[in-house]
Every structure is written in structure tokens, then in C-alpha cells.
Amino acid sequence: WAHGRRKLFKLAEVARAPLAAEAVRRIDLIFDAERAINGLSAEQRLAVRQQDIAPLVVELECWMREQCARLSRHNDLAKAINYMLTRWAAFTAFLKDGRICLTNNAAERALRGIALGRKSWLFAGSDRGGERAAAMYSLIVTAKLNDVDPRAWLADVLARIAGHPASRLHELLPWNWKTTQAQRAAAA
């Protein structure tokens, strides 16, 4: 939704297109309704979506199809609207599953580091080097997802791993390490 809105927003802001501004206004209503249910369970979100948000989405689709029929297919606004309409099933999937987010912004932000570093990673040295880099990146992202400072965790794990029993390596995983650190802090 954010990507589809972005195309329309540019037309509304730059070209001052009133129809684009109206499309953005209608999409913003959907975002506002979705913002109100953030943090609820998937079941609660789905119920609110089906009751309150689905009618907004249906109304938007009808309005977009109506406007698109009036515009030349070469018009920039028609292209922006068609971008959404040709992917409408994907755009509306969130209405059928409370676990799906309205946008994929969080996933895109998480992948930004990969995209920025990929040129550097071309020089991993070998396939095994690339596999090691991927494993390390997975561990670092796992630490971040568990609200663990990756540098602190990695420094501590690297300092202790040589003398740590292999049967207890699971203790060094970020979610277990965080618990152990909290217990150590409480004891001190």
C-alpha cells in the first residue's frame, strides 16, 4: 500500500493533480483505520478489517476503476492507478488474514542493509565464505530482532566460545544470552 500510495502522492504533490490527491486521501483513510488496530491480535485485526476497512477498500477500488475509465491509458495517473488495480489481489490480501501487515515497509527496511552491502559481499572469497557471511548476517539480524545489541552479544560470545561446552552452545544464542545477561545484572 505504501508503494502504491507513493506513486499517487508524487502526482498529487508534484503535478498538483486533484484526482491523485483524492486517491491519496482515500488511501490515507485506510491507513488511519489500520493504525487504530496496530497491536491487536490477528483475530481482532481481521474482525475490524472486515467490518470497517473492507468497505473503504471496496469504495476505493470502485472509485479507481471509475476514474481510470475516464483517463487515457498513457496518463501518469492512470498508470499509477493501474499499478494498484493489476495487483489488487495482493493489495487486498490483508483483508483475509489478520497477520498480514498493510505495508511491507518493515521488511524493506530490514533488507536495506543487504541491498547496500551486496557489492561488498561479492568478494566473500568463495562459496564457503559467502555461506559464512550469510550465517553471520542471520545471527546479527536475529540479535537485533531479540532486542540484543549485536556488537555486545558478538564480543561476549567470541570471548567465551572457546571454553564453552559444545553441548551448551544454545545458551549463546541471542534470546538465551539476553536472559542470562539479565540474570547476571540482577544478581550483581
- CB contact at 8 A, 138 and 154: no
Predicted TM-score (pTM) of this structure? 0.62
How many C-beta atoms lie closer than 10 Å to residue 1's C-beta?
A: 19
pLDDT at 108 over 80: no
Triad 35, 39, 43: Cα angle to 5°: 100
How many C-beta atoms lie closer than 10 Å to residue 156's C-beta?
A: 15
Amino acid at 31: F
Nearest to 13 by CA among 100, 77, 67: 77
pLDDT at 183 over 80: yes
181 compared with 53, residue with greater pLDDT = 53
For residue range 22-64, list pLDDT tens digits in order.
Answer: 999 999 999 999 999 988 999 999 999 999 999 999 999 999 9
> From CA 13, how far away is CA 35, in angstroms rounded?
23
